Amino acid sequence: MIKNITIIGAGNVAFHLCKAFVELGIEPKQVFVRNRSKSLPFAKMGVELVHNAAEIGNSELFILAVNDDSIADAAALLPAGDALVVHTSGSMPCEMLKDFSPNYGVFYPLQTFSLEREVDFKVIPLFIEGANPATENKLKELADLLSDSVIVSTNLDRRLLHLGAVYVSNFSNALFGIAHQILEENALSFQHLVPLMRETVEKAIVKNPLAVQTGPARRNDKETIAAQLNLLKNRPEEKEIYEMLTNYIINKYHTPKK
């Protein structure tokens, strides 16, 4: 079992991974936080912080919890050797780490993390991959401590999951933002939509989103659609999104009455 873990990065993924390890009693050996202004949340956990790459010591496992375009730069900071090196990206292949160690892999938690929000790591799907069976086994053993849902995956799997995540999370949030603006600008609370938002997600989870599509577009209710487009007449971008998604739903879901 891996005992010495070093985390490179100070973002939301780094923080929540670090926290989950600390809570499991596996305190990271070091956390490399380049930007000192990001130290506080880590310092509060009592973990050893380093701010200069030269201070990064040897470790059994280096977790590069940094943005996609910083992974290679972060890997280049590590001490030479054959320590296990993983990144946490859903987009990048594990082979991008092959020049840094013969033992590399991926450790991708599929969740949206924020500093201020608690997460239950046990329920977060953790997609892993190892460059060789021994590496993969070690990662699996560690991942199983963190999550009840550990999946050995390929890069294509993770890229598809990440694409799905963009639709259900990033794009949905943008739609929530549109509703928020429309309501708040008219002195109506966004909170009125809360039970609807929760039920929409739970229904899609329990049933299947393809089976539970509802609304004016699903019924091709031209009168309501026209009236809603009229409410959007001063919001050309939001109107364009309304039109595109409405046409998509009509084409895909609406069955004309005979």
Hey, which residues between 124 and 183 contact a copy of itself (CB under 8 A)?
Answer: 124-125, 149, 151, 156-157, 159-183
Query: Could you tell me the two tokens for 122?
Result: 């046990």
First to last CA, the chain: 64
201 near a copy of itself (CB under 8 A)? yes
Tokens of 88: 């946490």
Dihedral Cα 21, 25, 26, 29, nearest 10 deg? 100
Nearer to a copy of itself by Cβ, of 43 and 174: the residue is: 174
DSSP class of residue 48 equals P
How near is the Cβ of 231 to a copy of itself at its closest, in Å? 5
Residue 13: which region, alpha, beta or left (left: phi > 0; alpha: psi -120 to 50)? alpha
Q: Does 115 bind a copy of itself (CB under 8 A)?
A: no
Q: Does 240 bind a copy of itself (CB under 8 A)?
A: yes
Q: Decide if residue 72 touches a copy of itself (CB under 8 A).
A: no
**194 is a contact residue toward a copy of itself (CB under 8 A):** yes
Instruction: State which of residues 91, 99, 132, 134 lies at the interface with a copy of itself (CB under 8 A).
Output: 91
**Considering the complex, what minimum distance in angstroms separates the CB of residue 247 from a copy of itself?**
9
Smallest distance from a copy of itself to CB 182, Å: 6
- Scan residues 19-38 and list those touching a copy of itself (CB under 8 A): none
According to the binding rule CB under 8 A, does residue 70 interact with a copy of itself?
A: no
Q: Which is nearer to a copy of itself, 31 or 126 (CB)?
A: 126
Q: Tell me which of 212, 220, 254, 258 binds a copy of itself, using CB under 8 A.
A: 212
The one among 237, 255, 257, 258 contacting a copy of itself by CB under 8 A: 237
Contact call for residues 122 and 143 (beta carbons, < 8 A): no
Q: How far is the CB of 144 from a copy of itself (least distance, A)?
A: 17
Q: Which of 40, 43, 76, 244 binds a copy of itself (CB under 8 A)?
A: 244
State how far the Cα of 68 lies from the Cα of 197, in Å rounded to an integer: 31
Pick one of 1, 54, 80, 210: the residue that binds a copy of itself (CB under 8 A).
210
Chosen residue from 223, 234, 255, 258 binding a copy of itself by CB under 8 A: 223
From the list 237, 242, 248, 210, the residue with the least C-alpha distance to 225 is: 242
Place of tokens 């010591």: 57
Give Dmax (Cα) for the chain.
Answer: 73
Q: How far is the CB of 248 from a copy of itself (least distance, A)?
A: 6
Residues in contact with 84: Cβ distance below 8 Å, sequence separation at least 6, in sequence order: 2, 60, 61, 62, 101, 103, 104, 105, 135, 138, 139
Tell me how far apart the alpha carbons of residues 108 and 36 are, in angstroms, rounded to a whole number: 25
